Amino acid sequence: GVKVGVRTRGCNGLSYTLEYTKSKGESDEEVVQDGVRVFIEKKAQLTLLGTEMDYVEDKLSSEFVFNNPNIKGTCGCGESFNI
């Protein structure tokens, strides 16, 4: 599966983290959709509440995109956000 979390970094405060994992952590929330297992770190659960994650491919890149309704602002480069 994929583990999603947030870390303090960037010029605006928080940034998303993604890592592969084979098992659910003790305090992780597990979401399964379309055969994909996503684990959400406990300390990120309130920050990510209501967030939609999508995988987008175009001619120049492929990436996960987050649509987070809790965000109050982002930095100019789009790498970090604040709540």
Q: For 1-83, where are the E strands, in sequence order?
A: 2-8, 14-20, 29-33, 36-40, 52-57, 62-67, 73-74, 81-82
Extract the tokens encoding 7. Answer: 């870390």
Tell me, what DSSP letter sits at residue 15?
A: E
Return the DSSP state at 24: -
Q: What is the pLDDT of residues 28-72, one digit of tens each?
A: 999 888 888 899 999 898 888 999 888 899 999 898 888 889 888
At 40, list the tokens: 């959400």
Give phi and psi for 47, each to the nearest 5. -65, -35
User: 2-82 adopts what CATH topology?
Assistant: Hypothetical Protein Aq_1857; Chain: A; (2.60.300)
pTM score, whole prediction? 0.76
